[in-house]
Amino acid sequence: MSNAGHTLLAFDLVCKDDTALITIGDAVRVISLFTPEQREMYQWRNAIHMLNIALREPSYITAATVTLQTALNLSGMLRPESL
């Protein structure tokens, strides 16, 4: 994920702890803090998969961002204003 730090998400997301996710790199940093069990949850497997696809094919960035938004929301991590 060499471009991850600079690849912008389709829109910014803000977590309840005030962490702003602006790039795929920001998302990777948050996900890297998860336990292996958390990363194996369906919504996170799906979000990780879509983020990886978006790095290879930029036309998928909106789908990846929405998938990330959904995973954050289902995990109770997303600020309501980021819905």
The full set of domain ranges for the chain reads 8-82
pLDDT at 59: 97
Please state the pTM of the whole predicted model. 0.93
User: Which DSSP symbol is given to 40?
Assistant: T
Binned at pLDDT 50, 70 and 90, residue 5 comes out as confident
- 51: Cβ contacts below 8 Å, ≥ 6 apart: 4, 24, 27, 28, 64, 67, 68
With 0-12 / 13-18 / 19 or more C-beta atoms within 10 angstroms meaning exposed / middle / buried, residue 48 is: buried
pLDDT band at 58 (very low <50, low <70, confident <90, very high): very high
